[in-house]
């Protein structure tokens, strides 16, 4: 059986999965440096990293696409080019 395809350009043996679309580019890899295994996800556009443990990953399966909608709203997430700047409400 051959190794799984590692996305869009990642070497099959580097342990990373590179996923890219016209909207986003991320690198996903298994992280074993904490108390238990977790997934490390790095946004290739702004280099932000998040670590998700098995419970957090499982909770994603409980959601439907409609529930994920607020996370995809650029006004509520890190998509802004003014990251770290105060919101209009803070001014």
In this predicted structure, the answer to whether residue 79 has a pLDDT above a threshold of 90 is no
User: Is residue 17 within 8 Å of residue 6, measured between CB atoms?
Assistant: yes
pLDDT tens digits for 11-31?
556 889 999 999 889 999 999
pLDDT tens digits for 21-76?
998 899 999 999 999 999 999 999 999 999 999 999 999 999 998 898 888 877 77
User: Tell me, what's the pLDDT at 11?
Assistant: 52
Asked whether residue 43 is domain-assigned, the answer is yes
- Radius of gyration in angstroms for the set of CA atoms belonging to the chain, rounded to a whole number: 16
Whether this prediction's pTM lies above 0.75 is answered by no
Asked whether residue 15 is domain-assigned, the answer is yes
Average pLDDT over residues 81-90: 48
Q: Which among 12, 5, 41, 4 has a CA at the least distance from the CA of 25?
A: 41
Asked whether residue 86 is domain-assigned, the answer is no
Helix (H) or strand (E) holding 31: strand 25-31
- Calpha distance 79→46 (Å, rounded): 9
Domain that holds residue 58: 1-69
Asked whether residue 2 is domain-assigned, the answer is yes
């Amino acid at each position: 059986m051959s190794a799984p395809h590692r996305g869009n350009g990642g070497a099959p043996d580097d342990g990373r999965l590179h996923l890219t679309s016209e909207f986003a580019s991320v690198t996903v890899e298994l992280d074993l440096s904490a108390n238990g295994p977790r997934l490390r996800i790095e946004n290739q556009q702004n280099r932000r990293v998040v670590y998700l443990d098995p419970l957090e990953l499982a909770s994603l399966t409980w959601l439907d696409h409609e529930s994920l909608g607020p996370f995809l709203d650029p006004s509520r997430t890190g998509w802004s080019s003014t990251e770290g700047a105060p919101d209009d409400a803070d001014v």
